[in-house]
Amino acid sequence: MSEISIQLENLSFKAQQLSDQASQLALAAVESSGGHSDFIIFGITVLVLACFVGYYVVWSVTPALHSPLMGVTNAISSVIIVGALLAAGPIDATISKYFGLAAVGLAAVNIFGGFVVTNRMLSMFKKKS
Amino acid sequence: MSNLTSVAYLVSSVLFILSLRGLSHPTTARRGNFYGIVGMAIAIITTVSNPGVLSYKEIAIAFVIGGLIGSVIAVRIQMTALPQLVAAFHSLVGLAAVFVAASAFYNPSAFNIGTVGNIPLGSLIEMAIGTAIGAVTFTGSIIAFGKLQGFVSGNPLVFKGQHLLNLILGFRDNRINCKILY
């Protein structure tokens, strides 16, 4: 009787070990793939929805506003700075970081320039009307 | 990415949409520009507070230098030169996109897409597409700037033997594609 209970205990210990290993493997698998297939589906969803939003939002624009709209669209496109900041983030000086910093600088030129230019165009528009 | 970060990015996306929407009517145009600025500020602050972003000093220097250059040029330029200025600025975004893709290739762990030499195929394809689009944006915007400014003629570029050259290029391209595929 006691033999069986010892065997049972051993078995349950082994099962516990196995389940631990399995969960670690699953974690490693998720880490190595970075949840990537999900991310692609998510990305495609965003892309398609953004196409519709862009189409409907920009469709009925007054011709006089085409230039400022181009200006603000250009300014918003510098949201690439998000990627640039992530690239420039790490402390250690690598080539990747300097690429990131260069991209931060270029995007910053565009952010400030873009919004200021749009503002100037709009103020011109206001005076005329 | 924490939930708060995701929500912040969502808010800034909505503000960008409102910004474009605002710019489509004269009465709401100024408010639209303001929404755009707020959205961009939220996106930048959210990203800088990401735990992976630590080199605040260098980032601040790059950001301030870029911001100063952009503001000074945008304030000083003549009104009539604004369209070409937008084109010139836009070329910088293309270049920045190329830099970001290159950076992701050399240090993928900063973007959570694997390690050096072990990047998932999907991310590699994304990077390739990103680099190509960025490069086309860069050169295309420079040509647009040149045409608006009058550096480059607005006439289509035609030269003798153009069609023959295109044919050869197309053929050669096909050969390369076939070599890659088989």
Structurally, chain B folds into a number of domains equal to 2
Pick the closest to residue A52 from B152, B60, B17 (CA basis).
B17
Euclidean distance between CA atoms A73 and B36, whole angstroms: 9
Query: B118 and B65 share a domain?
Result: yes
Q: Is the pLDDT of residue B93 over 70?
A: yes
Query: B59 and B49 share a domain?
Result: no
DSSP class of residue A94 equals: -
Among A32, A70, A88, whose Cβ lies nearest the Cβ of B86?
A70
Cβ-based contacts of B36 with chain A (< 8 Å):
72, 75-76, 115, 118
Query: B93 and B147 share a domain?
Result: yes
Does ipTM come in above 0.90? no
| Best to test chain B binding among A31, A36, A59, A117 (most B CBs inside 10 Å) | A117
pLDDT in tens, A53-99: 888 888 878 888 888 888 899 999 999 999 999 988 888 888 889 99
Cβ-based contacts of A73 with chain B (< 8 Å):
20
CA distance, residue A11 to nearest chain B CA (Å): 37
Q: What pLDDT score was predicted for residue B151?
A: 80
pLDDT in tens, B16-25: 999 998 888 8
What tokens were used for B16?
Answer: 């960008």
- Domain of residue B14, residue span: 1-53
Pick the closest to residue A74 from B2, B82, B101, B11 (CA basis).
B82
Query: B175 and B86 share a domain?
Result: yes
Euclidean distance between CA atoms A17 and B88, whole angstroms: 62
Tell me, yes or no, if A128 comes closer than 8 A to chain B by beta carbon: no
Query: B79 and B22 share a domain?
Result: no
Q: Is the pLDDT of residue B142 over 60?
A: yes
Interface of B with A in 36-65 (CB under 8 A): 36-37, 39-40, 43-44, 47-48, 50, 52-55, 58-59, 62-65
Q: Do B82 and A85 touch (CB under 8 A)?
A: no
The rounded mean pLDDT for chain B is 86
Asked if A102 and B99 touch (Cβ cutoff 8 Å), the reply is: yes
Predicted confidence band of residue B42 (pLDDT cuts 50, 70, 90)? very high
Q: Do B19 and A72 touch (CB under 8 A)?
A: yes
Query: B35 and B75 share a domain?
Result: no
Q: Across residues A108-129, what is the average pLDDT?
A: 84
pLDDT in tens, A1-57: 677 788 878 888 887 887 777 777 766 655 555 555 677 788 889 889 989 988 888
Query: B70 and B146 share a domain?
Result: yes
Query: B29 and B60 share a domain?
Result: no
Predicted confidence band of residue B108 (pLDDT cuts 50, 70, 90)? confident
Interface of A with B in 46-85 (CB under 8 A): 53-54, 57-58, 60-62, 64-65, 67-85
**pLDDT higher for A18 or B178?**
A18
Among A79, A90, A102, whose Cβ lies nearest the Cβ of B110?
A90
Query: B83 and B172 share a domain?
Result: yes
CA distance, residue B95 to nearest chain A CA (Å): 7
Query: B17 and B69 share a domain?
Result: no
Q: Do B96 and A96 touch (CB under 8 A)?
A: no
What tokens were used for B1?
Answer: 């990415």
